A and B are shown apart, each in its own frame.
Chain A
């Protein structure tokens, strides 16, 4: 089922959680709402679910306006951040809940319900835990029960609020891949909220990046990562070095180094420009070799993080800290030590006009 969000505004007292938000979600897609805490992503999800109602704007499911329908009428599956399992019911009864509360006419008989629940428990690989209580399960197991419970009523839309937020790193990784596989099997239109860019980029078909109650960019993971529409998106999707400079007719002055390349010809003269470069898109060299686009810098610190090495440098001209990420192999080849003088070059970069120089 497709979802259309149109001009949704929601205020809590004086705080504007969402302002004129519109979003289209196609049938069968898995969409991530990505943003920092307080950006309104959970509010948007709850409004789609019918757990919260917008001040203005509308929601359509398959072109039908359902803005005034309650959560019960919308038939959505909702998975809560803290699972919200019924603590007094067993795993089995948790999953069966949605089937048992149906009006008598629509309710399946007991043996059908049992069969359905067994099938779902098999799907989440918890057949053996059916008679346990939620408190006896691990976080990852609880989350899977919550998912099975939501799927039991055959919802038209599956909504997940920070589904992996409360889990530890390893379980998160496993569970999100499992969710992706599950989605590929079931093909139910799904929206999930996350503040973890890696999670969004890995799992989702499309990512909506949100900030301060608005959607900054919607696109495929590649689109938002490779061509971020705004500085915020660039910044939020990974760590970044920002160089500030001015456009001097036909070349950007970043610090004292001219970063040349396409993309700034149409910029107005003397506009303040911020150049964004990701740490892994920086190249470190021992020699300049006549390359005028590289910046002299001094190695300040070296952190080895698994296969990566994070190198902190200080630009000689601007005295700004530059962060670079290189592979362990490159690091060993360069044999970097704190205090070494090197040259740093941006392999790719993106520029945004900035209002004020920092």
Chain B
């Protein structure tokens, strides 16, 4: 590039591309977004409302649909709080303490990310199924796990297990132990330190993790599909119910339920953006805080 006569202009243009390239890239991105995201979203809502609002809302009065929605809420309602407790403790342990086997624990937390959801579901069938390792004992005691609600909850917990820990971990590691140590020297107990110092410092990351965890818990298909057994009105979650309705050629009803999941996704995105904006603003407030001038 020839040297520009205006240095300040050169500084800007040195890292940007010619207008044509910029517009081409933007157009490509918008086109991609349109074809793969906006258009399908439009189709979902378009099809769902094909027969008008009355029919749309009528779909949700179907007992099987209501039961699917309820089951999804139950599964998420159990999985998210449990993973909240687990995620916070794991991130706290890994982020603030040194111990043997730390690397192994991090790998284990990531396991559900790297294993196919179908395999995750299969694990529970192999464990608690009729021919499973623990299955016969539970069946003898009249406790059904696979092809019943507990199996769905277990599979959901497993699949959503890394979300909160993974969100918190980098933040806790970056913040270090200084504030906790300060709290201890000021006479705070371990629990006071956690509640008054550690937790407030990661609250936005925590909320973010919970949102992602919840979205995945409600949307999970693969793992849940394996352990569900697809018993209508009993072990169908929303994503499974969409598939069943679709296979029954009830397109409008299928898309109506799907539109609920799409709405959930949109709401998640909205909350996520708000959280990011909020926490980003906080970070911008303290650009040099503490770590700026390491000696």
Contacts and interface: CB of A to CB of B under 8 A. Distances in A.
Interface string B266-286: 000000000000000000011
B1 interface: no
Contacts of A88: 200-201
B293 interface: yes
14 contacts: A51-B181, A72-B187, A72-B188, A78-B181, A82-B291, A82-B294, A83-B290, A84-B290, A97-B183, A101-B196, A133-B285, A134-B289, A139-B293, A149-B182
A319 B157 CA distance: 76
Given A72-B189, A78-B185, 14 more contacts: A70-B184, A71-B181, A71-B185, A72-B187, A84-B290, A86-B182, A86-B196, A86-B197, A86-B200, A87-B289, A97-B183, A97-B196, A98-B188, A149-B186
A284 B294 CA distance: 41
Given A88-B200, A135-B286, A101 B182 contact: no
Interface string A53-90: 00000000000000000111001111011111111100
- Name the interface size band of chain B: 20 to 34
B196 A84 contact: no
Most chain B CB inside 10 Å of its own CB: which residue of A75, A84, A166: A84
A353 to B, nearest CB: 34
A165 B187 CA distance: 25
Nearest to B293: A166
Nearest to A84: B178
B186 A101 contact: yes
A78 B285 contact: no
Interface in B137-189: 178-179, 181-189
B290 A97 contact: no
Interface residues of A, number: 37
Interface string A161-178: 010011000000000000
B29 interface: no
Interface string A123-138: 0000000000111100
Given A72-B188, A166-B295, A82 B290 contact: yes
B192 interface: yes
A155 to B, nearest CB: 8
A84 B182 contact: yes
A304 interface: no
A66 B285 CA distance: 41
Given A86-B197, A166-B293, A49 B183 contact: no
B186 A97 contact: yes
A101 B187 contact: yes
A21 interface: no
Contacts of B285: 133, 135-136
Nearest to B199: A88
Given A71-B181, A88-B201, A97 B188 contact: yes
B185 A49 contact: yes
A97 B184 CA distance: 11
A165 B290 CA distance: 12
Contact of B178 (A76, A82, A135): A82
Shortest beta-carbon contacts, A-B, top 5: A135-B286, A98-B186, A84-B178, A101-B188, A78-B185
